Amino acid sequence: MKTTGNTILITGGGSGIGRALAEAFHALGNKVIISGRRRAVLDEVTAANPGMASMVLDATQAAGIRDFANALTREHPDLNVVINNAGIMKNEDITSAPDYLDTAEETIATNLLAPIRLTAALLPHFLQKPDAAVLTVSSGLAFVPMVATPTYSATKSAIHAYSMAIREQLKGTSVEVIEIIPPYVQTTLQGDHQATDDRAMPLDAYIAEVMDILTNQPDATEVVVERCKPLRFAAENGNFDQVFAMVNGVHS
């Protein structure tokens, strides 16, 4: 993927990894459009980054995604990159079934259906561009699930499989497919405490390593920082059980 000269949509661009990626790409001179549910949050980001644009999107609404994509490509006809970043992560107590299903279904709609729907809506446009890319943000938990967040982990595993499959289907076209696989990062994904948790990777360090990979490994299909490699390659390295125990605080 080329890292300059793009027009990029970043979903969930109002905070966390999404905002940090938006600001990093904006600093490189790309045209960046961020989306999210809350107009006030988007306005705060664009005010801090003159030239950045924003559009409100409720990623859980199928019809809304189609309308959003049509409006987006009309307003920004040079759009050639989407970063499917928006996501939610909530703990679930399976023993409370069926009560936890509301959380599970919201998680699936946001983390899995939304990027599939948005990619489908934008793909005909991207196929007309000489240099296009679809990036999806999965998680190290796609490879080693967290017991407390089963549906989140499942959606990220699904995003990994989806990225692999569409990458193969789009081989030979102008559209690259790249998966960004974060470790535990200092954001507010699971609340304010996460942003200051010493066990989490500092957000600025994470983004710096991601941008270094994208810049210096332009053919990379997966963006895996060093800190995430124990999770990403746990099965391949033959130590899945040990990493699973580490992630979930399991003591033998």
Residues with a known catalytic role: 152
Half-sphere exposure of 222 (CA within 13 A, CB side): 19
Rounded CA-CA distance 138/161 in Å is: 10
Q: Are 34 and 52 in contact (CB under 8 A)?
A: yes
Q: Are 104 and 151 in contact (CB under 8 A)?
A: yes
Computed from CA positions of residues 38, 186, 30, 123, in that sequence, does the dihedral angle turn out positive or negative?
negative
Distant-in-sequence, close-in-space partners of 105: CB < 8 Å, separation ≥ 6: none
Rounded CA-CA distance 159/137 in Å is: 8
Rounded CA-CA distance 80/78 in Å is: 6
E strands present in the chain:
7-11, 31-36, 53-56, 81-84, 132-137, 175-181, 222-224
